[in-house]
A and B are shown apart, each in its own frame.
Chain A
Amino acid sequence: MEPYGNSGGVSSSASSSSSSSITKPHEIDGYLAEAGYKVRSSDLRHVAQRLERLENVMVNSPNDLAHFASDAVIYNPSDLASWVDSLLSASDLSISDLDFPGVIINNHPTADTWTEIPPISAAASAPPQNHHQVTAVMEEDSGIRLVQLLVTCAESVQRGDLALAGSIIETMQALLTRVNTGCGIGKVAGYFIDALSRRVFTPQSVGSDGGSAHENELLYHYFYEACPYLKFAHFTANQAILEAFHGHDCVHVIDFNLMHGLQWPALIQALALRPGGPPLLRLTGIGPPSPDGRDSLREIGLRLAELARSVNVRFAFRGVAASRLEDVKPWMLQVSPKEAVAVNSIMQLHRLLGSDSNRNSPIEMMLGWIRNLNPKIVTVVEQEADHNKAGFLERFTEALYYYSNMFDSLEACGAMQPDKTLAEMYIQREICNVVCCEGLARVERHEPLSKWRTRLELAGFSPLHLGSNAFKQASMLLTLFSAEGYRVEEKEGCLTLGWHSRPLIAASAWQVMPLPEATATATNPLGIVNHSANHV
């Protein structure tokens, strides 16, 4: 009797099975890939054997199972081979314990006689390019009409027919008075009509920063409070940083956008409580220069230092003022070779994507010097959207879907006024930038995780998977301060937070890929830490 029968009627003996297979053994099984699992055909037997052994573990030690499910940290469940291996090593029984003499498991003919249906080739399982995700709420007729007009208007703008675009805008503004602008399509349409109106009627008013840095910080605060996106970004990044800092006594966090430093109290407290005691924590916060002589970076640093003192964490802060991220140079960060460095970028990297196909693109340069810092971890959170397409209409419709979902999700959280409006204004600035600006003025160049993955991998980084513990924490925290409808999803080691089935923000962690021997250099171009009085 042969195991793994072929109810499909195709049979072949072992020696000919590989030649009659459509797929080469190292290729991924196409059917399983479609279901979301990546297993090489050649690994299928191994995985099957492991599953069988796990079955025995479960039958014999059901309590281990309960403990396991609650305690073990699982990474990247798509990778079946490593998932089953990690399960087995996490279970109390070691693999050798399972080889009892004369036991039934190995009593049947092994590997050679298993037959299989030739799997479909891996090519069919590659994710389709040009993915276009739509999650929508079906609207009533006037809502549909508004969307029709918005899209037609954007089409006119793309064609350069500003006269037509202008008259459509006027029609839409009239229609808005008859539509519920409190929620749904009416709400988001209002903002898009406004953005189009600026682009068409007052183009000279856009291209500026969209408000002072101070205003931005204020609006950021309301956005932070009104919905869970930034909180999710912070605690997911912190979880990964905490784990990366394990075992290190000197750690240095570089925050690409300090704002109010809202991310850091939680990390400081977590480090204070870590077994073995806290490390020496240095925080370098980057932010725009403050107007009128204030040093807002330093003020925040002082507050964080006070907190660190209160929980006995040795702490040093450095502020780096720069109007643009690309103006920051590595020497300003004063990284020491003895420190474990974490680079933290919450919705900043996309701002560096605005240039032509220049060899020295800002993003490549930045990723290059980040890599040269040799960080232990780079945490990246970005909007999960494709707002960097060249064509205006495509960009516009993508943004319409994205921000519809964003506004709907904000609505569900039920923030009070005026906080909710102020949070919306934060979002509105993004919308304006995506819709109204071009060239260097357009900084909100969001790209999806799949593109960031490629870019980071090309720059010499490899993913550090976020696991089930981070997922669980994120899910639990969501139930505390958000609403029904938010979803955390795991995607190949990264976590996304979204509204229903639409991810809106993606968090990932990265480490430096080791350089090949030949190009490794011993020089540290950064110098030693400066213990000047600048430090708080």
Chain B
Amino acid sequence: MEDNNEVNEVDLTDSKMVVPLNTWVLISNFKLSYNLLRRPDGTFNRHLAEFLDRKVAPNANPVDGVLSFDVIIDKGTSLLTRIYQPASADAPQLNILDFHKPVGVEVLPVIIFFHGGSFAHSSANSGIYDILCRRLVGNCKAVVVSVNYRRAPENRFPCAYDDGWTTLKWVNSRSWLKSTKDSKVHIYLAGDSSGGNIVHNVALRAAESGIEVLGNILLNPMFGGLERTESEERLDGKYFVTIQDRDWYWRAFLPEGEDRDHPACNPFGPRGISLKDVKFPKSLVVVAGLDLVQDWQLAYAKGLEKAGQDVKLLFLDKATIGFYLLPNNDHFYTVMNEISSFVRSDC
């Protein structure tokens, strides 16, 4: 019980201890903006969100060895993807014809990327994600296809998964993305936060339908459950994220009336499905040690393991959410190297 004269204090000391100043400013700014956008009644101030989001245009001229262009792959749902390709600066300027030319590499990893934002925020053309995708291309010598999936609360489960699935089918059928070695598209799924969650669910669909996904990369994936875990209670509010905001986003994404044990949120929970004997891709799960949902993420990795699936867990002790947004810390480089090895294991 607080004294009437006392004002609640927020102690931000913890988060300031572990991240560089510019990272702290970036993530705190997001936290602030996001607080302004979520309404208690579950609605979302989309206009303000779009106004505040810093977007960047694609650039078909190579910058630091990467070019990008946008493609609308489904007119019905207005589904847009941004495609990033490695390119040398002295290559002749690309025109629309060249986008159909085979990239023509013996083994070309194609990473379908799902940006984060807790299902409600950001877009494929958000600045933070555009730059992350460019770094992925540079690091992995891969093509990256970033999906501009439909977001909550306007578009609940399973819209984001549907968009991921549409993209997977589209990528799989592009002859210009095939690796020349076996005339197939070598597909990996990657995503951070809600994007990580989408990776799992799209991979599930792929397994059921027989489209081969070579690997899943889940960066601080968004999972949860009804139960309150130890990490949630210990880290609530300490490193940019609160249990309250996590709950809000699940309520915005899951079908109305559902709870957090819905399998989309809690894939290995009481309503989860078994992955035993399912031909599921190998997984790289990256968990930040200061992310309050780490118990759910660790449970996910464990669930995959118990089902006999190939999973590598990378636990980064002192990392917070968003550590991969700026290349100013060791964890960033560790993860980039891991991802690179993961997708280039058969190159």
Q: Which A residues contact B (CB, under 8 angstroms)?
A: 1-9, 29, 31-32, 34-37, 39, 44-45, 47-48, 51-52, 54-56, 58-60, 65-66, 68-70, 74, 77-78, 80, 84, 87, 100, 103-105, 108, 114, 116-117, 119, 128, 130-138, 144, 147-148, 151, 397, 400-401, 468, 471-472, 475-476, 484-485, 487-490, 500-503
Contacts and interface: CB of A to CB of B under 8 A. Distances in A.
B99 to A, nearest CB: 7
B22 A31 contact: yes
B327 interface: yes
B56 A47 contact: no
Contacts of B25: 32, 39, 44, 47-48, 51, 80
B7 A35 contact: no
Contacts of B125: 501
A112 to B, nearest CB: 13
Interface in B272-288: none
Interface stretch (B74-82, B188-196, B260-268, B299-307): B74-82
Contact of A3 (B13, B55, B75, B323): B13
B19 interface: yes
B18 A135 contact: no
A252 to B, nearest CB: 31
A484 B8 contact: no
Interface string B12-31: 11001111111011101100
Nearest to A37: B54
Interface residues of B, number: 73
A7 B319 contact: yes
Nearest to A54: B32
Of A35, A37, A117, A502, most buried by chain B (CB within 10 Å of CB) is: A35
User: Which 10 A-B pairs give the minimum distances between C-beta atoms?
Assistant: A36-B54, A36-B127, A3-B16, A135-B70, A134-B69, A132-B60, A69-B36, A472-B47, A117-B328, A31-B326
Given A114-B21, A136-B69, A55 B60 contact: no
Given A77-B54, A128-B61, A471-B47, A135 B75 contact: no
A52 B12 contact: yes
A3 B330 CA distance: 18
A45 B127 CA distance: 23
A501 B80 contact: yes
A138 B73 contact: yes
Nearest to A104: B9
Contact of A34 (B48, B51, B97, B127): B127
B255 to A, nearest CB: 22
B93 interface: yes
Interface of A is mostly: mixed
Nearest to B56: A36
B60 A58 contact: no
Given A7-B318, A35-B54, A130-B61, A116 B22 contact: yes
28 contacts: A3-B17, A4-B21, A5-B20, A7-B18, A7-B319, A7-B331, A36-B55, A48-B21, A51-B28, A51-B29, A52-B12, A66-B40, A69-B48, A77-B51, A132-B61, A133-B60, A134-B60, A135-B69, A136-B99, A138-B73, A138-B99, A144-B100, A151-B97, A397-B95, A468-B52, A488-B50, A490-B51, A501-B80
A247 to B, nearest CB: 26
B132 to A, nearest CB: 9
Contact of B329 (A7, A87, A108, A148): A7
A31 B13 CA distance: 23
A187 to B, nearest CB: 14
B57 interface: yes
B328 A80 contact: no
Contacts of A501: 55, 57-58, 70, 80, 82, 124-125, 148
A178 B59 CA distance: 32
Contact of B45 (A32, A47, A70, A128): A70
Given A35-B128, A484-B78, A68 B60 contact: no
B91 interface: no
B347 interface: no
A68 B328 CA distance: 34
A500 B70 contact: yes
B71 interface: yes
B289 to A, nearest CB: 11
Nearest to B12: A52
Contact of A468 (B48, B54, B93, B124): B48
Interface string B316-347: 00110001011111110000000000000000
A69 B52 CA distance: 12
Contacts of B329: 7-8, 117
A80 B59 CA distance: 25
Contact of B326 (A5, A35, A137, A144): A35
B296 to A, nearest CB: 23
Contacts of A65: 35-36
Contacts of A488: 50
Nearest to A58: B35
A34 B54 CA distance: 10
B78 A128 contact: no
B97 A148 contact: yes
Contacts of B96: 134, 136, 147, 151, 397, 400-401
Nearest to A4: B21
Nearest to B73: A138
B1 interface: no
Contacts of A135: 58, 69-72, 80
B211 interface: no
Nearest to A100: B7
A461 to B, nearest CB: 24
A224 to B, nearest CB: 24
B232 to A, nearest CB: 19
A159 to B, nearest CB: 16
A3 B7 CA distance: 23
A471 B45 CA distance: 13
A45 B61 CA distance: 36
Nearest to A484: B78
A500 B80 contact: yes
Contacts of B100: 138, 144
